[in-house]
Amino acid sequence: MQKLKKKSKQLLSLLFTFATVFLLFAAMTLTASAAITDPVTINITPNTGNIGNGNSDANNSGVNQSQWSYNGTEKILELLTTGGNYTLTGTNNNLYIRAPYTMSVTLNNVNVTSASSSPALSFESGGTITIVGTNKLSASGASASGLRLGGTIATTITSGAGSSLSATSVNRDGINISGPGGLIITGHADVTATGSLSGIRNDSSSTYRITVGENAKLAATGGEDGFFGYNNPLTLEVDGAASFKTTATGKGYGGISITGNGTLAIRGKGTVSTEAKESGIVVASLYIYGCNVTAKGTTRRAVILQSGGKITMNDAAVLTMTNGSGAAEQHTFAVEGTDWNKPTDRVWKLTNAVFIDDTFYSVTDREIEVRVAAGQTGTVAREPKSGKLGDVNNDGKVDATDLSLLISDFGLKGKNLRSDLNNDDVVDGRDLAILLKYFGS
């Protein structure tokens, strides 16, 4: 019995020691974790801020210095903590800021220019950039962009009302994208990207997505292209009052230009405007789901579909095209969806645009071919059916035009025929009787 008690005491002592070590280790881990994520504020103004001359931050107090480093010879400020929380302030005319890990960075009235071949800010693994006040990221060196984004995690730029961020490059792109993570602009952030080549350029080898929130703005201006991408699909998510604007000011190929088989899908409830000296949009195929889109080509067509693709729209989409070329611009439009036998309660609405063959195409067709004359602005949209029986062309009245269309369709069989007024999949005397009954209404 005595031996059993002694062994029990030894076991309890071991358990107590183990528990003490475990608790101490956990406390150390939590302390280290807390230290890593402590907020860090860095004033980037030389000498008067936290970075000085030489290879050291001469004016830094030493607090949280382990979370960042400054190389005064190469003029590089590196933010070193994964998941870190940094605030940058001040002005610096010769600085490259590198954020290699996923983190949160607040730019509080920052004005920084990179004079080297590196960007003003390289945000390499995604995270959040919060902007406060007016912030400028500029690059004057060869092949340098104002802001470079990378990684598989999205970069979110956000702010309260009245804050802005401009990314500018004298020799390249305002914003350069090198990873598939995506760019999300939320809150009231007002983001401007300006470059001698492209406002925004996607060098990533993957599908890319740019999201502009309800109260946010994104404007991209390039000497050659507003947005340029290589052969990969781009999705623009634009909501509410937000807008995405690209304007090519030089000998640009397109306001939005994607080479090869790259497609453009525009979604949301907002407005998207593109304009270029040549063509507003240059892609393989264009998909518009809900947005109000305007495309303007000053010397060429509003939209160029490089692979002979279609423009696919849903019932809430609107596309306005300004054709600046000397010849008519024409495209094939299709209603979103693959079930072409399914009736739709909306029809095509053409404003200053016409069917290539109005004896063949109708506003009720799921696929149409439309022409906009040289030098003209035309709009293609979807609208509810008029609801008038006998109104074949959906212009709100039943007249000789409807009768002429029905006569040209007489005898046709199939789904969703424009003159099939009783929906029995054939245009015959019964449809003619309906039209004559309501003629003149």
Q: What is the DSSP string of 145-185?
A: -SEEE-SSSPEEEEE-TT-EEEEEESSS-SEEE-SSS-EEE
CA–CA separation, 368 and 159 (whole Å): 43
Residues 6+ apart with CB under 8 A from 126: 102, 149, 150, 151, 152, 153, 154, 155, 179, 181
Highest mean pLDDT among 45-54, 159-168, 378-387: 159-168
Model confidence pLDDT, tens digit, residues 388-419 = 888 888 888 899 988 988 898 899 888 778 88
Average pLDDT score, the chain = 85
Going by pLDDT thresholds of 50, 70 and 90, the confidence category of residue 34 is very low
What pTM was computed for the model? 0.81
Instruction: Say what the pLDDT of residue 37 is.
Output: 62
Q: Do the beta carbons of residue 425 and residue 416 sit within 8 Å?
A: no
User: Which one is predicted more confidently, 393 or 104?
Assistant: 104
Q: Do the beta carbons of residue 411 and residue 351 sit within 8 Å?
A: no
Does 263 have pLDDT greater than 80? yes
Model confidence pLDDT, tens digit, residues 205-243 = 788 899 999 999 999 999 889 999 988 899 999 997 667
Instruction: Say what the pLDDT of residue 247 is.
Output: 67
Instruction: Say what the pLDDT of residue 59 is.
Output: 44
